[in-house]
Structure 1
Amino acid sequence: MTNNKITYGLILLLAAIFQNCASPEKVVYFQDIENLKAQTALVNYEPQLQVGDILTINVSAIDAEAAVPFNLYETPPTVGVMSSNAKPLTYIVDASGVIQFPVIGSVQVGGKTIKENTAYLTNLLKDYIKKPIVNIRLTNFRVTVLGEVKKPGTFQVANERISVVEALGLAGDLTIHGKRKEIQLIREQNGERKFVTLDLTSKKIFESPYFYLAQNDVIYVTPNKTKVNSSAVGTNTGVIISSISILLSLISILLK
Protein backbone atom coordinates (compact mmCIF):
# COMPACT_ATOMS: atom_id res chain seq x y z
CA MET A 1 0.00 0.00 0.00
CA THR A 2 1.53 3.34 -1.07
CA ASN A 3 1.29 6.63 0.70
CA ASN A 4 -0.79 8.01 -2.19
CA LYS A 5 -3.39 5.29 -1.77
CA ILE A 6 -3.56 5.90 1.98
CA THR A 7 -3.93 9.63 1.46
CA TYR A 8 -6.63 9.00 -1.14
CA GLY A 9 -8.46 6.73 1.30
CA LEU A 10 -8.32 9.36 4.02
CA ILE A 11 -9.67 11.99 1.63
CA LEU A 12 -12.62 9.76 0.73
CA LEU A 13 -13.32 9.07 4.40
CA LEU A 14 -13.26 12.77 5.28
CA ALA A 15 -15.46 13.56 2.28
CA ALA A 16 -18.02 11.03 3.48
CA ILE A 17 -17.98 12.52 6.97
CA PHE A 18 -18.39 16.12 5.79
CA GLN A 19 -21.09 15.11 3.35
CA ASN A 20 -23.25 14.10 6.30
CA CYS A 21 -22.60 17.34 8.16
CA ALA A 22 -25.60 19.69 8.14
CA SER A 23 -25.10 23.03 6.39
CA PRO A 24 -26.21 26.25 8.12
CA GLU A 25 -29.01 26.62 5.56
CA LYS A 26 -30.55 23.39 6.85
CA VAL A 27 -30.18 24.17 10.56
CA VAL A 28 -30.67 27.91 11.22
CA TYR A 29 -34.24 29.05 11.91
CA PHE A 30 -35.94 32.08 10.30
CA GLN A 31 -33.02 32.85 7.98
CA ASP A 32 -34.77 35.68 6.10
CA ILE A 33 -36.24 37.27 9.21
CA GLU A 34 -34.47 40.60 8.56
CA ASN A 35 -36.75 41.09 5.56
CA LEU A 36 -39.92 40.57 7.58
CA LYS A 37 -41.99 43.72 7.77
CA ALA A 38 -43.07 44.85 11.22
CA GLN A 39 -46.62 43.77 11.94
CA THR A 40 -49.00 46.34 13.39
CA ALA A 41 -50.80 43.70 15.43
CA LEU A 42 -50.56 40.01 16.20
CA VAL A 43 -53.18 37.69 14.79
CA ASN A 44 -55.86 37.21 17.43
CA TYR A 45 -56.21 33.47 16.88
CA GLU A 46 -58.86 31.53 18.77
CA PRO A 47 -59.50 27.82 18.17
CA GLN A 48 -63.01 26.66 17.34
CA LEU A 49 -64.62 24.06 19.57
CA GLN A 50 -64.63 20.56 18.11
CA VAL A 51 -66.34 17.24 18.69
CA GLY A 52 -64.98 15.61 21.84
CA ASP A 53 -63.85 18.85 23.48
CA ILE A 54 -64.38 18.99 27.25
CA LEU A 55 -65.64 22.25 28.76
CA THR A 56 -66.20 23.74 32.17
CA ILE A 57 -68.87 26.43 32.26
CA ASN A 58 -69.47 28.69 35.24
CA VAL A 59 -72.43 31.04 35.46
CA SER A 60 -72.60 33.82 38.02
CA ALA A 61 -74.81 36.81 38.66
CA ILE A 62 -75.58 39.50 41.22
CA ASP A 63 -78.33 37.21 42.50
CA ALA A 64 -76.22 34.14 43.36
CA GLU A 65 -79.27 31.94 44.00
CA ALA A 66 -80.62 32.60 40.50
CA ALA A 67 -77.38 31.24 38.98
CA VAL A 68 -77.32 27.99 41.00
CA PRO A 69 -79.48 25.89 38.60
CA PHE A 70 -77.02 26.63 35.77
CA ASN A 71 -73.96 25.30 37.60
CA LEU A 72 -73.52 21.55 37.95
CA TYR A 73 -71.20 20.03 40.57
CA GLU A 74 -70.32 16.51 41.63
CA THR A 75 -71.27 17.54 45.17
CA PRO A 76 -73.72 20.46 44.99
CA PRO A 77 -72.61 23.37 47.22
CA THR A 78 -74.92 24.98 49.74
CA VAL A 79 -76.97 27.80 48.27
CA GLY A 80 -75.06 31.05 48.64
CA VAL A 81 -71.95 29.29 49.95
CA MET A 82 -69.30 28.11 47.52
CA SER A 83 -67.22 25.26 48.92
CA SER A 84 -63.56 25.13 47.90
CA ASN A 85 -63.98 21.39 47.40
CA ALA A 86 -66.93 21.70 45.02
CA LYS A 87 -65.87 20.15 41.71
CA PRO A 88 -67.81 21.33 38.65
CA LEU A 89 -69.09 18.77 36.16
CA THR A 90 -67.79 19.05 32.62
CA TYR A 91 -69.60 19.22 29.30
CA ILE A 92 -68.51 17.09 26.34
CA VAL A 93 -69.20 18.36 22.83
CA ASP A 94 -71.09 15.54 21.09
CA ALA A 95 -70.90 14.36 17.47
CA SER A 96 -73.33 17.11 16.45
CA GLY A 97 -71.32 19.86 18.16
CA VAL A 98 -73.93 20.16 20.91
CA ILE A 99 -73.80 20.20 24.72
CA GLN A 100 -76.72 19.68 27.10
CA PHE A 101 -76.93 22.71 29.36
CA PRO A 102 -79.07 22.87 32.52
CA VAL A 103 -82.56 24.35 32.09
CA ILE A 104 -81.83 25.57 28.54
CA GLY A 105 -81.21 22.14 27.02
CA SER A 106 -79.30 21.62 23.75
CA VAL A 107 -76.78 24.34 22.91
CA GLN A 108 -74.82 24.33 19.66
CA VAL A 109 -71.19 25.16 20.52
CA GLY A 110 -69.18 23.29 17.87
CA GLY A 111 -67.56 25.42 15.17
CA LYS A 112 -67.56 28.53 17.38
CA THR A 113 -64.77 30.03 19.43
CA ILE A 114 -64.98 30.28 23.20
CA LYS A 115 -65.54 34.02 22.89
CA GLU A 116 -68.44 33.47 20.49
CA ASN A 117 -69.96 30.77 22.71
CA THR A 118 -69.62 32.98 25.79
CA ALA A 119 -71.59 35.76 24.09
CA TYR A 120 -74.16 33.29 22.74
CA LEU A 121 -74.78 31.56 26.08
CA THR A 122 -74.87 34.88 27.92
CA ASN A 123 -77.63 36.06 25.60
CA LEU A 124 -79.61 32.84 26.17
CA LEU A 125 -79.33 33.19 29.94
CA LYS A 126 -80.77 36.70 29.93
CA ASP A 127 -84.21 35.11 29.76
CA TYR A 128 -83.55 33.50 33.15
CA ILE A 129 -80.99 35.66 35.00
CA LYS A 130 -80.43 39.38 35.31
CA LYS A 131 -76.96 40.36 34.04
CA PRO A 132 -75.44 36.85 33.81
CA ILE A 133 -71.68 36.36 33.64
CA VAL A 134 -70.45 33.28 31.78
CA ASN A 135 -66.97 31.80 32.00
CA ILE A 136 -66.07 28.94 29.61
CA ARG A 137 -62.81 26.99 29.73
CA LEU A 138 -61.56 24.29 27.40
CA THR A 139 -59.98 21.69 29.68
CA ASN A 140 -58.50 19.28 27.12
CA PHE A 141 -56.45 21.59 24.91
CA ARG A 142 -53.32 19.57 24.19
CA VAL A 143 -50.83 19.10 21.37
CA THR A 144 -48.54 16.18 20.55
CA VAL A 145 -44.96 16.54 19.26
CA LEU A 146 -43.21 13.49 17.79
CA GLY A 147 -40.13 12.66 15.71
CA GLU A 148 -36.72 14.29 15.89
CA VAL A 149 -37.16 16.36 19.06
CA LYS A 150 -35.42 15.99 22.39
CA LYS A 151 -38.55 15.35 24.49
CA PRO A 152 -41.41 13.97 22.37
CA GLY A 153 -44.78 13.73 24.06
CA THR A 154 -48.24 15.19 24.57
CA PHE A 155 -48.44 18.59 26.25
CA GLN A 156 -51.40 20.19 28.02
CA VAL A 157 -51.90 23.87 27.16
CA ALA A 158 -53.46 25.95 29.93
CA ASN A 159 -54.08 29.21 28.07
CA GLU A 160 -55.67 27.67 24.94
CA ARG A 161 -53.21 29.45 22.65
CA ILE A 162 -49.87 28.07 21.47
CA SER A 163 -47.76 28.44 18.34
CA VAL A 164 -45.86 25.69 16.53
CA VAL A 165 -42.60 27.29 17.73
CA GLU A 166 -43.74 27.21 21.36
CA ALA A 167 -44.85 23.58 21.03
CA LEU A 168 -41.43 22.59 19.68
CA GLY A 169 -39.90 24.48 22.60
CA LEU A 170 -41.94 22.39 25.05
CA ALA A 171 -40.49 19.31 23.34
CA GLY A 172 -36.94 20.55 23.92
CA ASP A 173 -36.37 21.80 20.34
CA LEU A 174 -35.35 19.74 17.31
CA THR A 175 -32.33 17.47 17.38
CA ILE A 176 -29.58 18.05 14.84
CA HIS A 177 -31.16 15.24 12.78
CA GLY A 178 -34.55 16.94 12.37
CA LYS A 179 -35.50 18.48 9.03
CA ARG A 180 -36.23 22.15 9.70
CA LYS A 181 -37.85 22.49 6.29
CA GLU A 182 -40.25 19.56 6.74
CA ILE A 183 -42.26 20.00 9.93
CA GLN A 184 -45.45 18.01 9.45
CA LEU A 185 -48.65 19.29 11.06
CA ILE A 186 -51.62 16.91 11.32
CA ARG A 187 -54.96 18.44 12.21
CA GLU A 188 -58.45 16.95 12.50
CA GLN A 189 -61.19 19.49 11.94
CA ASN A 190 -64.82 19.24 10.87
CA GLY A 191 -64.49 15.51 10.26
CA GLU A 192 -61.45 15.92 8.00
CA ARG A 193 -57.76 15.26 8.53
CA LYS A 194 -55.34 17.86 7.14
CA PHE A 195 -51.61 17.42 6.50
CA VAL A 196 -49.54 20.60 6.31
CA THR A 197 -45.77 21.05 5.82
CA LEU A 198 -44.12 23.97 7.64
CA ASP A 199 -40.63 25.40 7.06
CA LEU A 200 -38.85 26.65 10.19
CA THR A 201 -36.01 28.15 8.16
CA SER A 202 -38.30 30.73 6.56
CA LYS A 203 -40.03 33.80 7.93
CA LYS A 204 -43.18 32.68 6.09
CA ILE A 205 -44.03 30.43 9.00
CA PHE A 206 -45.09 33.53 10.96
CA GLU A 207 -47.61 34.36 8.22
CA SER A 208 -48.97 30.82 7.99
CA PRO A 209 -52.60 30.19 9.05
CA TYR A 210 -51.19 27.14 10.85
CA PHE A 211 -48.65 29.07 12.94
CA TYR A 212 -51.03 28.86 15.91
CA LEU A 213 -52.11 25.35 16.82
CA ALA A 214 -55.57 23.96 17.44
CA GLN A 215 -56.45 21.48 20.18
CA ASN A 216 -55.24 17.93 19.51
CA ASP A 217 -52.84 18.97 16.73
CA VAL A 218 -49.94 16.60 16.07
CA ILE A 219 -46.49 17.85 15.02
CA TYR A 220 -44.05 15.40 13.46
CA VAL A 221 -40.43 16.35 12.83
CA THR A 222 -39.06 14.38 9.88
CA PRO A 223 -35.58 12.83 10.35
CA ASN A 224 -32.86 13.66 7.83
CA LYS A 225 -30.96 11.14 5.67
CA THR A 226 -28.16 10.80 8.19
CA LYS A 227 -30.59 9.68 10.87
CA VAL A 228 -32.45 7.35 8.52
CA ASN A 229 -29.24 5.76 7.25
CA SER A 230 -27.85 5.34 10.75
CA SER A 231 -30.97 3.44 11.79
CA ALA A 232 -30.24 0.83 9.12
CA VAL A 233 -26.84 -0.08 10.58
CA GLY A 234 -25.54 -1.12 13.97
CA THR A 235 -25.21 1.22 16.91
CA ASN A 236 -21.42 0.80 16.81
CA THR A 237 -21.05 2.38 13.36
CA GLY A 238 -19.59 5.57 14.76
CA VAL A 239 -17.03 3.66 16.79
CA ILE A 240 -16.06 1.58 13.74
CA ILE A 241 -15.59 4.67 11.55
CA SER A 242 -13.46 6.33 14.22
CA SER A 243 -11.35 3.18 14.58
CA ILE A 244 -10.79 2.96 10.82
CA SER A 245 -9.79 6.61 10.72
CA ILE A 246 -7.26 6.13 13.53
CA LEU A 247 -5.92 2.96 11.88
CA LEU A 248 -5.41 4.69 8.53
CA SER A 249 -3.65 7.57 10.25
CA LEU A 250 -1.27 5.16 12.03
CA ILE A 251 -0.53 3.30 8.77
CA SER A 252 0.19 6.59 7.05
CA ILE A 253 2.67 7.58 9.77
CA LEU A 254 4.42 4.20 9.80
CA LEU A 255 4.90 4.17 6.03
CA LYS A 256 6.43 7.62 5.87
Structure 2
Amino acid sequence: MQKAYKVVFFILFLSVTLTSCVSKKDITYFQNDQIDQNKVSNSYKTIFKPDDLLQITVSALDFESVKTFNLPAVNFATTTNRAIGTPQQQTYLIDNNGYIDFPVIGKLKIGGLTRDEVIKMLKEKLDPDYVKNPTINIRIANYSVTVLGDVRRPGTYTIPNERITILEAIGLAGDLNITGKRNTIKVFREINGKKLQFDIDIRSNDIFTSPVYYLQQNDLVYVDQNKASSQDAAFNRNTGLMVSVGSIVISLITLITRF
Protein backbone atom coordinates (compact mmCIF):
# COMPACT_ATOMS: atom_id res chain seq x y z
CA MET A 1 0.00 0.00 0.00
CA GLN A 2 2.98 2.29 0.53
CA LYS A 3 3.61 1.84 -3.17
CA ALA A 4 0.15 3.24 -3.96
CA TYR A 5 0.90 6.37 -1.90
CA LYS A 6 4.15 6.88 -3.75
CA VAL A 7 2.42 6.58 -7.13
CA VAL A 8 -0.18 9.24 -6.19
CA PHE A 9 2.42 11.74 -4.96
CA PHE A 10 4.66 11.08 -7.96
CA ILE A 11 1.79 11.87 -10.36
CA LEU A 12 0.99 15.14 -8.56
CA PHE A 13 4.67 16.16 -8.49
CA LEU A 14 5.14 15.36 -12.18
CA SER A 15 2.09 17.43 -13.15
CA VAL A 16 3.42 20.53 -11.39
CA THR A 17 6.93 20.07 -12.79
CA LEU A 18 5.88 19.62 -16.41
CA THR A 19 3.55 22.64 -16.41
CA SER A 20 6.12 25.05 -14.96
CA CYS A 21 9.28 23.99 -16.78
CA VAL A 22 10.77 26.56 -19.18
CA SER A 23 13.92 25.85 -21.18
CA LYS A 24 16.73 28.43 -20.98
CA LYS A 25 17.00 28.49 -24.76
CA ASP A 26 13.43 29.80 -24.91
CA ILE A 27 14.10 32.89 -22.77
CA THR A 28 17.69 34.05 -23.45
CA TYR A 29 18.08 37.06 -25.78
CA PHE A 30 20.58 37.27 -28.68
CA GLN A 31 21.74 33.68 -28.33
CA ASN A 32 21.70 32.70 -32.00
CA ASP A 33 23.65 33.87 -35.06
CA GLN A 34 26.43 36.38 -35.54
CA ILE A 35 25.56 39.99 -36.31
CA ASP A 36 25.99 40.64 -40.04
CA GLN A 37 27.41 44.17 -39.99
CA ASN A 38 26.85 44.53 -43.73
CA LYS A 39 23.10 44.34 -43.14
CA VAL A 40 22.95 46.58 -40.08
CA SER A 41 21.70 50.10 -40.80
CA ASN A 42 21.65 52.93 -38.27
CA SER A 43 19.74 55.22 -40.59
CA TYR A 44 16.17 56.03 -39.68
CA LYS A 45 13.70 58.30 -41.43
CA THR A 46 10.37 59.44 -40.06
CA ILE A 47 7.61 59.07 -42.64
CA PHE A 48 4.55 61.23 -41.99
CA LYS A 49 1.20 59.44 -41.87
CA PRO A 50 -2.48 60.32 -41.49
CA ASP A 51 -3.42 61.32 -37.92
CA ASP A 52 0.08 62.64 -37.19
CA LEU A 53 -0.15 65.92 -35.30
CA LEU A 54 2.67 68.18 -36.48
CA GLN A 55 4.33 71.23 -34.99
CA ILE A 56 5.89 73.27 -37.79
CA THR A 57 8.13 76.20 -36.89
CA VAL A 58 9.37 78.68 -39.49
CA SER A 59 12.32 80.90 -38.52
CA ALA A 60 14.24 83.62 -40.36
CA LEU A 61 16.27 86.79 -39.79
CA ASP A 62 13.20 88.87 -40.66
CA PHE A 63 11.02 88.09 -37.65
CA GLU A 64 7.97 89.89 -39.05
CA SER A 65 7.93 87.78 -42.20
CA VAL A 66 7.48 84.50 -40.32
CA LYS A 67 4.71 85.57 -37.92
CA THR A 68 2.01 84.44 -40.35
CA PHE A 69 3.44 80.93 -40.43
CA ASN A 70 3.76 80.53 -36.65
CA LEU A 71 0.21 81.14 -35.56
CA PRO A 72 -0.52 80.59 -31.85
CA ALA A 73 -3.33 78.30 -30.77
CA VAL A 74 -5.41 79.97 -28.04
CA ASN A 75 -8.59 79.26 -26.11
CA PHE A 76 -11.37 81.79 -25.77
CA ALA A 77 -13.75 82.32 -22.85
CA THR A 78 -17.35 81.73 -23.94
CA THR A 79 -18.68 84.69 -21.94
CA THR A 80 -16.15 87.41 -22.81
CA ASN A 81 -14.74 85.98 -26.07
CA ARG A 82 -11.26 86.85 -24.80
CA ALA A 83 -8.19 84.66 -25.02
CA ILE A 84 -7.41 82.70 -21.87
CA GLY A 85 -4.39 80.69 -20.79
CA THR A 86 -0.93 80.60 -22.34
CA PRO A 87 -0.90 80.51 -26.16
CA GLN A 88 0.50 77.28 -27.59
CA GLN A 89 2.09 76.68 -30.96
CA GLN A 90 -0.37 75.82 -33.71
CA THR A 91 -0.45 72.15 -34.72
CA TYR A 92 -1.45 70.59 -38.02
CA LEU A 93 -3.31 67.28 -38.21
CA ILE A 94 -2.62 65.18 -41.31
CA ASP A 95 -6.00 64.09 -42.68
CA ASN A 96 -6.90 60.68 -44.10
CA ASN A 97 -5.72 61.75 -47.55
CA GLY A 98 -2.34 62.94 -46.28
CA TYR A 99 -3.00 66.72 -46.40
CA ILE A 100 -2.52 69.59 -43.98
CA ASP A 101 -3.82 73.14 -44.36
CA PHE A 102 -0.86 75.50 -43.98
CA PRO A 103 -1.22 79.30 -43.59
CA VAL A 104 -1.16 81.32 -46.83
CA ILE A 105 0.07 78.38 -48.92
CA GLY A 106 -3.06 76.26 -48.39
CA LYS A 107 -3.33 72.48 -48.65
CA LEU A 108 -0.10 70.48 -48.80
CA LYS A 109 0.21 66.75 -49.46
CA ILE A 110 2.80 65.52 -46.96
CA GLY A 111 1.50 62.04 -46.06
CA GLY A 112 4.05 59.44 -47.15
CA LEU A 113 6.92 61.97 -47.25
CA THR A 114 9.97 62.10 -44.99
CA ARG A 115 10.85 65.06 -42.80
CA ASP A 116 13.60 66.19 -45.20
CA GLU A 117 11.21 66.05 -48.16
CA VAL A 118 8.59 68.18 -46.39
CA ILE A 119 11.18 70.73 -45.27
CA LYS A 120 12.46 71.02 -48.84
CA MET A 121 8.91 71.47 -50.14
CA LEU A 122 8.12 74.23 -47.63
CA LYS A 123 11.35 76.08 -48.35
CA GLU A 124 10.61 76.07 -52.07
CA LYS A 125 7.11 77.45 -51.47
CA LEU A 126 8.15 80.12 -48.96
CA ASP A 127 11.43 81.37 -50.43
CA PRO A 128 11.69 84.05 -51.75
CA ASP A 129 8.05 85.19 -52.12
CA TYR A 130 7.14 85.03 -48.42
CA VAL A 131 10.26 84.36 -46.33
CA LYS A 132 13.89 84.74 -47.35
CA ASN A 133 16.18 81.85 -46.37
CA PRO A 134 13.75 80.24 -43.93
CA THR A 135 14.75 77.64 -41.36
CA ILE A 136 12.04 75.04 -40.82
CA ASN A 137 11.67 72.60 -37.94
CA ILE A 138 9.04 69.84 -37.86
CA ARG A 139 8.21 67.48 -35.03
CA ILE A 140 5.37 65.02 -34.39
CA ALA A 141 3.52 66.07 -31.25
CA ASN A 142 1.70 62.74 -30.81
CA TYR A 143 4.50 60.29 -31.65
CA SER A 144 3.83 57.10 -29.67
CA VAL A 145 4.13 53.31 -29.76
CA THR A 146 2.05 50.67 -27.98
CA VAL A 147 3.33 47.52 -26.27
CA LEU A 148 0.75 44.91 -25.25
CA GLY A 149 0.64 41.29 -24.14
CA ASP A 150 2.89 39.40 -21.76
CA VAL A 151 5.05 42.32 -20.54
CA ARG A 152 5.31 43.91 -17.12
CA ARG A 153 3.84 47.32 -17.97
CA PRO A 154 1.68 47.16 -21.13
CA GLY A 155 0.55 50.50 -22.49
CA THR A 156 1.05 53.33 -24.97
CA TYR A 157 4.26 55.34 -24.66
CA THR A 158 4.97 58.83 -25.99
CA ILE A 159 8.39 59.14 -27.66
CA PRO A 160 9.66 62.76 -27.55
CA ASN A 161 12.69 62.24 -29.82
CA GLU A 162 10.73 60.30 -32.49
CA ARG A 163 13.27 57.49 -32.60
CA ILE A 164 12.91 54.18 -30.77
CA THR A 165 13.93 50.57 -31.38
CA ILE A 166 11.77 47.57 -30.59
CA LEU A 167 14.19 46.68 -27.78
CA GLU A 168 13.83 50.14 -26.24
CA ALA A 169 10.03 49.88 -26.48
CA ILE A 170 10.13 46.54 -24.67
CA GLY A 171 12.37 48.17 -22.08
CA LEU A 172 9.82 50.94 -21.52
CA ALA A 173 7.23 48.24 -20.90
CA GLY A 174 9.41 46.71 -18.20
CA ASP A 175 10.72 43.82 -20.35
CA LEU A 176 8.92 40.57 -21.14
CA ASN A 177 7.61 38.44 -18.33
CA ILE A 178 9.39 35.11 -17.97
CA THR A 179 6.37 33.57 -19.69
CA GLY A 180 6.53 35.89 -22.72
CA LYS A 181 7.02 34.24 -26.09
CA ARG A 182 10.30 35.56 -27.46
CA ASN A 183 10.52 33.89 -30.87
CA THR A 184 7.40 35.42 -32.46
CA ILE A 185 6.93 38.93 -31.12
CA LYS A 186 4.49 40.66 -33.45
CA VAL A 187 4.81 44.21 -34.77
CA PHE A 188 1.75 45.69 -36.48
CA ARG A 189 2.35 48.68 -38.76
CA GLU A 190 0.24 50.65 -41.20
CA ILE A 191 1.87 51.38 -44.55
CA ASN A 192 -0.06 53.16 -47.31
CA GLY A 193 -3.35 52.40 -45.61
CA LYS A 194 -2.61 48.68 -45.18
CA LYS A 195 -2.07 46.87 -41.87
CA LEU A 196 1.06 44.73 -41.99
CA GLN A 197 2.40 42.20 -39.48
CA PHE A 198 6.06 41.43 -38.83
CA ASP A 199 7.32 38.58 -36.61
CA ILE A 200 10.45 39.16 -34.56
CA ASP A 201 12.66 36.65 -32.73
CA ILE A 202 14.63 38.49 -30.05
CA ARG A 203 16.55 35.31 -29.28
CA SER A 204 18.38 35.91 -32.55
CA ASN A 205 20.81 38.66 -33.52
CA ASP A 206 18.90 38.91 -36.81
CA ILE A 207 16.65 41.39 -34.99
CA PHE A 208 19.26 44.10 -35.67
CA THR A 209 18.68 43.76 -39.44
CA SER A 210 14.87 43.63 -39.22
CA PRO A 211 12.79 46.29 -41.06
CA VAL A 212 10.96 46.91 -37.77
CA TYR A 213 14.03 47.16 -35.54
CA TYR A 214 13.34 50.90 -35.59
CA LEU A 215 9.67 51.40 -34.79
CA GLN A 216 7.52 54.04 -36.45
CA GLN A 217 4.81 56.19 -34.90
CA ASN A 218 1.68 54.25 -33.91
CA ASP A 219 3.38 50.84 -34.25
CA LEU A 220 1.89 48.11 -32.05
CA VAL A 221 4.14 45.51 -30.44
CA TYR A 222 2.42 42.38 -29.10
CA VAL A 223 4.00 39.67 -26.96
CA ASP A 224 2.15 36.36 -26.71
CA GLN A 225 2.37 33.87 -23.84
CA ASN A 226 4.55 30.82 -24.35
CA LYS A 227 3.23 27.26 -24.20
CA ALA A 228 4.46 26.69 -20.67
CA SER A 229 2.55 29.75 -19.47
CA SER A 230 -0.64 28.56 -21.13
CA GLN A 231 -0.25 25.16 -19.51
CA ASP A 232 0.48 26.79 -16.18
CA ALA A 233 -2.62 28.96 -16.47
CA ALA A 234 -4.70 25.87 -17.20
CA PHE A 235 -3.13 24.10 -14.23
CA ASN A 236 -3.85 27.03 -11.90
CA ARG A 237 -7.49 27.08 -12.98
CA ASN A 238 -7.81 23.39 -12.10
CA THR A 239 -5.68 23.40 -8.97
CA GLY A 240 -8.68 23.22 -6.64
CA LEU A 241 -10.15 20.32 -8.57
CA MET A 242 -6.83 18.43 -8.60
CA VAL A 243 -6.39 18.91 -4.86
CA SER A 244 -9.94 17.66 -4.25
CA VAL A 245 -9.42 14.60 -6.45
CA GLY A 246 -6.11 13.89 -4.79
CA SER A 247 -7.67 14.12 -1.36
CA ILE A 248 -10.43 11.72 -2.38
CA VAL A 249 -7.92 9.23 -3.79
CA ILE A 250 -5.83 9.34 -0.62
CA SER A 251 -8.93 8.96 1.53
CA LEU A 252 -10.05 5.92 -0.46
CA ILE A 253 -6.62 4.33 -0.14
CA THR A 254 -6.70 4.96 3.60
CA LEU A 255 -10.13 3.36 3.95
CA ILE A 256 -9.09 0.35 1.89
CA THR A 257 -6.05 -0.27 4.03
CA ARG A 258 -8.23 -0.38 7.16
CA PHE A 259 -10.36 -3.33 5.93
Q: Distance in 2 between matches of 1:145 and 1:92?
A: 24
Deviation (angstroms), 1:115: 2.3
- Aligned twin of 2:185: 183
Q: How much does 1:41 deviate? A: 6.8
Shift of 1:86: 3.4
Structure 2 distance, partners of 1:142, 1:238, is 43
Q: Distance in 1 between matches of 2:194 and 2:215?
A: 16
Give the corresponding residue for 2:60. 61
> How many Å separate the matches in 2 of 1:232 and 1:187?
32
Q: Deviations over 1:163-208 (max 9, x none)?
A: 1111111000111111001211111221111112111111111111
| Residue of structure 2 in register with 1:211 after alignment | 213
User: Does the C-alpha gap of structure 1 residues 7 and 233 become closer, same or farther in structure 2, counting only changes over 3 Å?
Assistant: closer
Distance in 1, Cα, partners of 2:40 & 2:122:
29
Alignment of 1:76-155 (within 5 A): 85-127=86-128, 128-155=130-157
Residue identity opposite 2:204 in structure 1: S
Using the alignment, how far apart are the partners of 2:185 and 2:104 within structure 1? 46
Deviation digits for residues 25-67 of structure 1 (CA, Å, limit 9, x no counterpart): 100011025x224469742112311111100001010000011
User: How many aligned positions are there?
Assistant: 239
Residues 238 and 113 of structure 1: is their aligned pair in 2 closer, same or farther, counting only changes over 3 Å? farther
| 1:18 shift after superposition | 3.4
SS in 2 for 1:67: helix
Contact 2:60 2:133 in 1 (8 A): yes
Aligned to 1:23: 23
How far the C-alpha of 1:121 sits from its partner, in A, is: 1.2
Aligned to 2:123, what secondary structure does the other structure show?
A: helix
Question: Following the alignment from structure 2 to structure 1, what is the Cα–Cα distance between the partners of residues 12 and 74?
Answer: 71
Structure 2 contact 146–221 (Cα < 8 Å) conserved: yes
Distance, in Å, in 2 between the alignment partners of 1:27 and 1:17 is: 20
| Structure-1 residue corresponding to 2:78 | none
- Partner SS state of residue 178, structure 1: coil
1:150-229 alignment to 2 at 5 Å? 150-229=152-231
Give secondary structure in 2 for the equivalent of 1:86.
strand
Tell me the equivalent position of 1:254: none
Q: Deviations over 1:105-130 (max 9, x none)?
A: 11111101122212221222113211
- Greater alpha carbon shift after TM alignment, 218-227 vs 21-30: 218-227
Against the structure 1 CA distance between its residues 49 and 146, is the aligned structure 2 distance closer, same or farther, given a 3 Å change threshold? same
Q: Which amino acid aligns with 1:150?
A: R
User: Secondary structure of the residue that 1:120 maps to in structure 2?
Assistant: helix
- Which secondary structure state, in structure 2, belongs to the residue aligned with residue 180 of structure 1? coil
CA contact (8 A) 2:40 2:208 kept: no
Alpha-carbon distance in 1 for matches of 2:165, 2:6: 51
Structure 2 residue aligned with 1:50: 49
Given the two structures, how large is their TM-score scaled by the length of structure 2?
Answer: 0.82
Change (3 A) 1:196 1:38: closer
Following the alignment from structure 2 to structure 1, what is the Cα–Cα distance between the partners of residues 38 and 8? 54
CA RMSD of aligned residues (A): 3.0
Deviates more, 1:128-137 or 1:111-120: 111-120
Moved more, 120-129 or 206-215: 120-129
Match of 1:81 in 2: none
CA distance in 2, matches of 1:200, 1:12: 36
TM-score, normalised via structure 1 length: 0.83
Identity across matched positions, percent: 39
